[in-house]
Amino acid sequence: MNTEFLVGFIETAHMKSIAKASEALHISHTALSKQLRSLEKQFDVQLFTRSSQGVELTEAGKILYESSRQLLDQLSDLEDKLKPLRAWGRIKIASVPDIATRYLVSALSRLQDQGHEVEIVYRQSTKEVYKLLLEGEADLTVAERFSMHPSIWSGDISQEAFYVVMPKDHPLAGQQEISLVELSGQPLVLYSLGCTIRATLTQMFADLKKPMNITTEVGFSEVILGYVVNGSGVTVLPEAFISQMYSDRLVYRPLNHPDAHRTIAVASLDQSKGQRILRLIG
- pLDDT higher than threshold 80 for residue 220: no
Whole-structure pTM value:
0.63
Instruction: Say whether both 215 and 93 belong to one domain.
Output: no
Give the pLDDT confidence score for residue 166 in this predicted structure.
95
Instruction: Say whether both 10 and 146 belong to one domain.
Output: no
| Helix (H/G/I), strand (E/B), else coil: 171 | coil
Per the structure, the complete domain to which residue 124 belongs is given by 87-158+263-281
Domain limit, last residue, from 84, 100, 135? 84
Instruction: Say whether both 277 and 148 belong to one domain.
Output: yes
Instruction: Say whether both 240 and 183 belong to one domain.
Output: yes
Distances (CA, A) of 42 to 21, 68, 179, 255, 272: 21, 14, 67, 63, 30
Per-residue pLDDT of 142-169, as tens digits, reads 999 877 678 899 999 999 999 999 999 9
Instruction: Say whether both 98 and 58 belong to one domain.
Output: no
Domain total in the chain: 3
Per-residue pLDDT of 42-99, as tens digits, reads 999 999 998 888 899 999 999 999 999 999 989 888 877 766 555 567 889 999 988 9
Instruction: Say whether both 271 and 141 belong to one domain.
Output: yes
How is residue 249 annotated by DSSP?
T
Query: Number of H helices and number of E strands within the chain?
Result: 12, 12
Instruction: Say whether both 146 and 271 belong to one domain.
Output: yes
Give the pLDDT confidence score for residue 87 in this predicted structure.
54
Q: How far, in whole angstroms, is CA 3 from its chain's centroid?
A: 28
Give the pLDDT confidence score for residue 221 in this predicted structure.
65
CA-nearest of 210, 224, 216 to 182 is 210
- CATH number for the domain spanning 247: value is 3.40.190.10
